[in-house]
Structure 1
Amino acid sequence: MSGAEPRWRWLSTRQLHRGRVMLDADEVELPGGAVVAYEVDRSVPYAVATLVLLGGDVLLSRQYRYPIDRWILDLPGGGGTLSETPEAAARRELEEELGLVAHELIPLHTFASDPGRNVWSTHLFFATGVRRGHALLDDPAEQVRLARMPLAELDRLIAEGEILDPSLLIARTMAAAKGLLPPLGP
């Protein structure tokens, strides 16, 4: 590639909404000189999620997701804060949601969940040993249930298109790529 690719130039930011979701409209100048408003989600500094393996089973979250009106399997996780590291946030979320404390967290991957609209990345971790802690769900909109299943069952659900959560799909793939789990099976 020759030369630097053109970038947009930030001009100003206007708050659109502050709540659980924080949306801004940034005024930006495009490389051709046009000025446009671009909506950006700045809800959290980053997100975390943890894939837990216990024996040959995976421990997942089962949660109702209102925007798609269905219960899904996903990973325990959530938003981090500026005062904690991604690993500390992953430990906190694992205990809050499933009442589990990880012996060790192995970093798996960091990805941009929606680089067209979100500024935050998701940090994925892998845990092979856990002990009981205390679930601390204090948000009535968060109803999390522990789902334990053999890894082969998770792989079957992935192959059948039943797993919708991108963090879970990426964590499973990256754990296999790093040799922490076998390759995705049928």
Structure 2
Amino acid sequence: MSEGQILKGDSIYQGRVIDLSLETVELPNGGHVELEIVRHPGGAAAVALDDQDRVCLLRQFRHAGGGWLWELPAGRIDPGETPFETARRELAEEAGLDAADWTDLGFMHSSPGIFTEVIHLWLARGLDSRPLAHEDGEVIEVHWLPLSQALDWCNDGTITDSKTLIGLYRAGAYIKNAFEMLSEDPGC
């Protein structure tokens, strides 16, 4: 059985950030379906954690999201850029930070029913300040919160952005697992 094949594709719109197409697809079960597909180059986000276990969160105005949202520093992958390079660039531009230690937290699909966007997630530690470089049209406040409080905000609905939820949960699990492994090591 195939993994799905495009039988016909028509471009409907090509924009600065996304492209929209109407595609007729053969599904793995042999059926055919017409789908509206939003193509996006993907993105990357950084969970920046300082030596006091505080995480950098941005309070950012998002018109499409209905107002102010809590988010990780993140952005779209530029042509020729790797996901890691994007995460590092966005951390510097949006939060004014660079990191000496980067841990890959995997990737996520933001809305795979219609959207091709894949977001790569990183844990950034060993932080150092850089100049902020917000883009025109960005309204961003930089905040520092204890990671435990940020995770509480994930659970109580204060944080609703999917990349931020997943990034914080994965970073929390990574840190917890690393701590447990150190605790079990008799040489520590």
Number of positions where the alignment pairs a residue of Structure 1 with one of Structure 2: 177
Distance across 1 between alignment mates of 2:77 and 2:3: 28
Amino acid at match of 2:127: V
1:166 counterpart residue number: 162
1:73 aligns with 2:70: yes
1:136 counterpart residue number: 133
Amino acid at match of 1:51: V
Distance across 2 between alignment mates of 1:108 and 1:78: 16
1:53 aligns with 2:49: yes
Give 5+ residue unaligned stretches, structure 2. 181-188
Distance across 2 between alignment mates of 1:18 and 1:172: 33
Distance across 1 between alignment mates of 2:14 and 2:133: 25
Measure how far apart 1:179 and its partner are: 2.9
Work out which of the residue numbers 107, 111, 115 in structure 2 matches 1:114. Answer: 111
Distance across 2 between alignment mates of 1:9 and 1:68: 33
TM-score normalised by L of structure 1: 0.84
Distance 1:109 1:180, change over 3 A: farther
Work out which of the residue numbers 132, 137, 144 in structure 2 matches 1:148. Answer: 144
1:41 aligns with 2:38: yes
- C-alpha contact 2:23 2:34 (8 A) present in aligned 1: yes
The worse-fitting range, judged by mean Cα deviation, of 149-158 and 61-70 is: 149-158
Alignment identity in percent?
31
The worse-fitting range, judged by mean Cα deviation, of 153-162 and 121-130 is: 153-162
Distance across 2 between alignment mates of 1:63 and 1:176: 22
1:15 counterpart residue number: 11
2:102 counterpart residue number: 105
Measure how far apart 1:73 and its partner are: 0.7
- C-alpha contact 2:150 2:168 (8 A) present in aligned 1: no
Give 5+ residue unaligned stretches, structure 1. none
Measure how far apart 1:144 and its partner are: 1.6
TM-score normalised by L of structure 2: 0.83
